Amino acid sequence: MSGHRALKAVHIASTAWFALSAGYIFVLALRQAGFRWWVIFSLSGYSALLVFLLISLYLFAIFRGVARSQKIAIEHPLTTSIYYLVLYDTSPFLGALAGCLGMIGENRISQFMLGIALGTFWATFLVWVIIDPVTGLLEMLLPASRKYHVERLAQAKAQREKRKNDRERLVAEILMKEELEIRHWQKVLKPNAEKLAGLLTTNIIDIKKAEREVVDMGVDTWQLGGLSCMQQLHSMTMEICRKEYQDSMIIDCISTWWDGIGSWRSPSLC
């Protein structure tokens, strides 16, 4: 087992021991206050508070472990060292040992266990809640830590700015490409759009023949540039009909006749 995995296992075990000790202190305090066991462990009594306390302590330990794993060794030379990590992770057990030594000569089991639990609780509280944050704060006051911290923040800001500029440049390139593509299709498709508009806005004698011509034009347009090209031709045809023929109702038939060509789908029936 690697050193990191071993420390992680010790941290989990110490957290469980700390939660167990805190729960023992809580239950014993309730017993000494005169509460019966059935009240303490009743779902409608204080067991919900006990469970909440234990879960909160466990989540606090997990949070501290995650925050510790994100520390940078250059900024925190002491709290990321192996010796400090061993002290941090074993502090509940060291507190239990201190409590055990302090209760030598005590004959009552409950008081002996209470001394161990109190030693665990206070040692853990001292190391995890007081010493560790204060030590981390003092580390950040070191000149080397401050310098690296400032450089790291500046570098992170520069990277964010670079990603932002890259995204903006990519969006600009895409928009420019789309604009060039639209201009290209407008130039290429203009004769077809005029022909299609003229075909659909004149008196159609043979509707089947007109439909075949429109469909053939849609197939050719699909083969030329796919759905976007068909949409561009449809839009140009509609614009011509609005401006020159003042007749846009018949344009809806294009979508119906083109339905099924490539990925073109008619939004509604004509």
Domain ranges of the chain: 3-141, 174-258
Tens of pLDDT along 14-38?
888 888 887 777 777 666 666 555 4
DSSP 3-state of 213: helix
Average pLDDT over residues 196-205: 72
- pLDDT at residue number 45: 47
Tens of pLDDT along 159-184?
999 999 999 999 999 989 888 887 88
Please, are residues 65 and 12 in contact by the beta-carbon 8 Å criterion? no
Tens of pLDDT along 41-91?
544 444 555 555 655 655 555 555 545 555 677 777 888 888 888 888 899
Given pLDDT bands bounded at 50, 70 and 90, which one contains residue 94?
very high
Average pLDDT over all residues of the chain: 78
- Could you tell me the two tokens for 146? 């401050």
Specify the pTM: 0.48
Please, are residues 119 and 98 in contact by the beta-carbon 8 Å criterion? yes
CA separation for the pair 213, 192 (Å, rounded): 11
User: Which letter does DSSP use for residue 251 in this model?
Assistant: G
Ramachandran area for residue 66 (φ above 0: left; ψ -120 to 50: alpha; else beta): alpha
Ramachandran area for residue 246 (φ above 0: left; ψ -120 to 50: alpha; else beta): left
CA separation for the pair 252, 230 (Å, rounded): 14
CA separation for the pair 145, 137 (Å, rounded): 11
Share of the chain above pLDDT 90, in %: 9
Residue 67: closest CA among 79, 57, 56:
79
- Could you tell me the two tokens for 70? 């994100």
